[in-house]
Chain A
Amino acid sequence: MTLKWATLFAGLVLAFAGSVVSIANAQQSQGPTTVVQLTGLAGVKDNAKGILSVGNGNLHFVHGKIGSDVSATSIEDVVTGNDSQEAVGKTIGMLSMAAPYGGGRFLSLFRTKIETLTIRYRDAEGGLHGAIFTMPAGKADGIKKELLASGAHTTARESSAAASTSASPFSQEERKQ
């Protein structure tokens, strides 16, 4: 009788552990992510909202009908960082400033965490470009890992290993605000 309960308990534990592992694996594989391209991609307007994904050795950004690809091998550096933005959105945030009794200021206390992904890449002529994306928290590291796996480079990892004191912001460790 006791053996039966023990077997049942062990089975439940194993099933639970298996589900946790599968959830963790699902989180590791990064699908398309909704991002805002702040600046830098050729042919894409600043502050354009779109879908960012990594596939076929490219960083792919789609905004409406416009698509932009950056070859992962041309990326010299990828850096992630943390930031925050107003929880209510810019327009409502601005309008709420007119609210009485400091209601707008109170609203601006509520902010959501976001992440930034900054890349530096070269075009066919050797010209240096930079692009900045913002995205929901927890997404940037996955995209960075996929880019590195596709052939992109980063100096952040190298500098943390070498404890370098180089002045370039791209060679500093990942920034946490």
Chain B
Amino acid sequence: MKRPLTSGIRLGTVALLFAACPLFAGKSEPTKIKARAIQVEMIQSDEVSLPAEFQVALYENLIHQLEKQGFQHVYRDGDRNAMRITDLVVLHSTVRRFKEGSERARQVTTISGATSITVHCQFSSPDGTSLLERDVNGKVWFFVGNLKATYDFAKKAARVAHENLSSPDHE
């Protein structure tokens, strides 16, 4: 009596595994863009008026977060050493939306005064060919300064870079 039940369970498990195979096959990792180094250009804000300290904080935080994500060669805007690198990816960032909140309003009301920023990130080759484009946002809700939104953006943008770029040095 027990035997047919056990073999039935086994058969069912095998059938389920077999059926699941095509599902896993569909979720295979997308091919990553080869990048031996990344060059970060200064944040642009053609459409939006952005305070100078936010522009600088976005740029500096982005560089720090990319270095934290394991990119060994992160070059700054205008760095002459980047010109010698093959497989260089250039990151252009343009601010699309910016709403400066109020730290005081956040602390007093909790629900209002959020600072939010949306930045269009374009990863391209040195000749300008676009390789990847994403909109990344940064927000700050609670008891910290407005500039913390730039840190939130930088962390998310660095994660996007980490997920989509691969260094040949690590392969």
**Chain A residues at the B interface, C-beta cutoff of 8 Å:** 38-40, 77, 79, 81, 84-86, 93-94, 97, 104-105, 108-109, 111, 116, 118, 120, 122-123, 125-132, 167-170, 172, 175
Nearest neighbor of B107 in chain A, beta-carbon distance:
A108
Closest approach, in angstroms, between the C-beta of B83 and any C-beta of chain A? Answer: 10
Digit string of B70-111 for contact with A (CB within 8 Å is 1, else 0)? 000001111111000000000000000000000110011000
Q: Measured between alpha carbons, how far is A79 from B56 in the docked complex, in Å?
A: 11
Closest approach, in angstroms, between the C-beta of B109 and any C-beta of chain A? Answer: 8
Taking a contact as CB atoms under 8 Å apart, the answer to whether B53 and A116 are in contact is: yes
Which of the candidate stretches B8-16, B19-27, B38-46, B133-141 sits at the interface with the other chain? B38-46
Q: Measured between alpha carbons, how far is A86 from B145 in the docked complex, in Å?
A: 10
Contacts A126-B80, A127-B79 given: A169-B107 contact, CB under 8 Å?
Answer: no
Interface size on B, residues (CB 8 A): 31
18 sampled A-B residue pairs with Cβ under 8 A: A39-B57, A81-B51, A97-B107, A104-B107, A105-B107, A108-B104, A108-B108, A127-B79, A128-B76, A128-B78, A167-B45, A167-B46, A167-B47, A168-B44, A168-B45, A169-B50, A169-B51, A170-B55
Taking a contact as CB atoms under 8 Å apart, the answer to whether A39 and B61 are in contact is: yes
Taking a contact as CB atoms under 8 Å apart, the answer to whether A126 and B104 are in contact is: no
In the A-B complex, the 4 residue pairs with the smallest Cβ-Cβ separation, listed nearest first, are A130-B56, A127-B76, A108-B107, A127-B79
B44, B77, B107 pick with most chain A CB within 10 angstroms: B107
> What residues on B are CB-neighbors of A118 within 8 Å?
52-53, 56
